[in-house]
Copies of this chain bind each other. A is one copy, B any other.
Amino acid sequence: MSNPFMQAAIEEARRGLAEGGIPIGSVIEYRGEIIGRGHNQRVQKGSAILHGEMDALENAGRRTADVYRESTLYTTLSPCAMCSGTILLYGIPRVVIGENQTFMGEEELLRSRGVRIEVLQDPECLELMRRFIAEHPSLWNEDIGV
């Protein structure tokens, strides 16, 4: 994996795993720099809303629309309805996704609203989620409302 932003998102996912959490990470890139990074905090903070993407957006702090509209969201896993809705709220125009084989999010909805989507099917992202889902199926289901 040579893309440094996806690499940073994977680092976030691994950090979450090391904390005993769900291994999904995300970063927000704006004009070539990371302005927010984070990972799923369901276990660590008992959070129902801090998916990796949401944690990265929260850590980016309050921003005006012009920043979001020039940003790219990198996430290790296809974004769920919550995270996709947030991408739409803020008008983030581009999303780079590590993989969508273990979970298919709302990519179709995003595309229908004009968001550019790239899916890498990155082997590291896939392996992180495959192993996690096999080992913690009920925790994973809780995270995706199943």
Contact = CB atoms under 8 A, between A and B. Distances in A.
Interface stretch (A63-71, A118-126, A127-135): A63-71
* Copies of this subunit: 2
Interface residues of A, number: 33
Contacts of A81: 85-86, 88-89
Contact of A89 (B42, B58, B61, B82): B82
A88 to B, nearest CB: 4
B49 A58 contact: yes
Contacts of A89: 80-82, 144-145
B82 A86 contact: yes
Interface string A25-36: 000000000000
Given A82-B86, A85-B85, 11 more contacts: A48-B57, A63-B142, A64-B142, A68-B145, A80-B85, A81-B88, A81-B89, A82-B88, A85-B86, A85-B106, A90-B145
